[in-house]
Amino acid sequence: MSKTGRKKAIVVGTGAGGIATAARLAKSGFSVTVLEKNSFTGGRCSLIHHEGHRFDQGPSLLLLPKLFQEAFHDLDTSLEAEGGGSPTLSN
């Protein structure tokens, strides 16, 4: 417990799972510290820039849309409300 009486939690990693977990813990009243080994956040949702090219680390939003929908729902918002829109595929 912290001096304010709030329980403390440490979340390792700032990928989709780490951020969703940290947000849910904070909403539940925890004092949350998030640790990340990289100089960037996002885990497999991030981009790598190399020699003028962009490389997606992984299409997590397209492969795991329910994970994102549930996380935003648990936080009383939606991906669309936060400016994300729904993932769609077209050819």
Residue pair 55/85 in contact by the 8 Å Cβ criterion: no
Section 55-73 average pLDDT? 78
Where is pLDDT greater, at 57 or 12? 12
Domain map (residue ranges) of the chain:
8-74
The reported pLDDT for the residue numbered 90 is: 53
pLDDT in tens, 36-59: 998 888 887 777 777 888 777 666
Give the pLDDT band of residue 91 (cuts 50, 70, 90). low
Report the C-alpha gap between 43 and 19 in whole angstroms.
10
The reported pLDDT for the residue numbered 88 is: 56
